[in-house]
Amino acid sequence: MKVLVTGVAGLLGSRLADWILENTDYEVIGVDDLSGGYVENIPKGVKFYKFDLKELDRVDNLFEQHKPDIIYHFAAYAAEGLSPFIRKFNYENNLIASANLITCSIKYDVNRFIFASSMSVYGNKYEPPFSEDLQQCPIDPYGVAKFGVEQDLKIAYNQHGLKYTIIRPHNFYGRNQNIWDKYRNVLGIWMYQILNGQRPTIFGDGNQTRSFSYVDDSIVPFWNAANRDECIGEIINLGGIQEYTINEACNALIKITGTDLKPLYLEARYETKHAYATWDKSVELLDFKHEIDLEEGLTKMWEWAQTQPMRKRFFWGKYELDKGIYEYWRTE
């Protein structure tokens, strides 16, 4: 049996691939364009291919060669706040690339398709915690792209019988996360800043609320999603059960690192103010267990971050649209 993991050099992809290789007899094929992940993260034993999923011919050739049984689709550029300023890039990477995978999954009779969607599909219409039965109302192009893939999977199931499960993770973090990207992964952004003697930045007043999820708590649930019939056609929130303000999360990290640096507050940005979800369904269907709290998870990630090379920070040199771009993002 074969599993294809997209985004295998990233946080979730690398951790799941490692678990599958250690705990099952499945062969793992991995794809990543290495635009946000790093080859060092890819576990030994993964048959790795470096290419862009927007290239349908390359995707088709891979499926024809390996005939994967299960697809875990994690590849994405997950920068919600940036997505209004890079619409073309966002839709090509998060929507078109996903459509190519769905096309080939239908063509080559894939058994299960597990899609990592996003909390961003809920938008700001509802008061949290968000439950899976709410109507999606994304407020940015990233959320629109994720919503589009969810809808396409439903069509693929109804018309072609492609069995899917949609997982909506919330704010995963941990070892192998990209901490060198200026625009995404707030905990990683802060770690990079502290490591480089910079004040951790917060957009707005810091009273926004999020639930943060240490990645290792969700690996077995992701595996279960592909191996339980009761998960077919389901949408399931997955992640931590405790919400924190951004101020609380930042102060927790400051305490763990022992830094004297204080937060630097920036102009408020357009975003969902409060975003956290229900988790009952993930316990019932996926056996999710919230075992690592924020303090322990940040400690583990900080220990890892201190061992990492000082890579050049990713900065978007030229935005597709710079009208309305936040001042902090105008400079490297």
Q: How confident is residue 265, by pLDDT bands cut at 50, 70 and 90? A: very high
Taking the whole predicted model, whether its pTM rises above 0.85 is answered as yes
Between 306 and 317, name the one with better pLDDT.
306
Q: What average pLDDT does this structure show over 246-255?
A: 98
Q: How confident is residue 285, by pLDDT bands cut at 50, 70 and 90? A: very high
Angle separating helix axes 294-305 and 246-257, nearest 10 degrees? 50
Q: What average pLDDT does this structure show over 169-195?
A: 97
Q: What average pLDDT does this structure show over 36-58?
A: 98
User: How many angstroms separate the Cα of 87 from the Cα of each of 92, 97, 102, 142, 180?
Assistant: 8, 14, 21, 8, 22
Going from the N-terminus, what domains does the chain have, and what CATH number goes with each?
2-173+214-238 (3.40.50.720)
C-alpha–C-alpha distance, residues 44 and 21, integer Å: 9
Q: Which two tokens stand for residue 292?
A: 């690592």
pLDDT above 90: residue 317: no
Q: What is the pLDDT of residue 152?
A: 98
Q: Which two tokens stand for residue 323?
A: 């009208």
pLDDT tens-digit readout, 273-284: 999 999 999 999
Q: What average pLDDT does this structure show over 205-209?
A: 98
Residues in the chain, total = 332
Q: Is the peptide bond before 129 cis (omega within 30 degrees of 0)?
A: yes
pLDDT tens-digit readout, 223-233: 999 999 999 99
pLDDT tens-digit readout, 109-136: 999 999 999 999 999 999 999 999 999 9
Q: How confident is residue 199, by pLDDT bands cut at 50, 70 and 90? A: very high
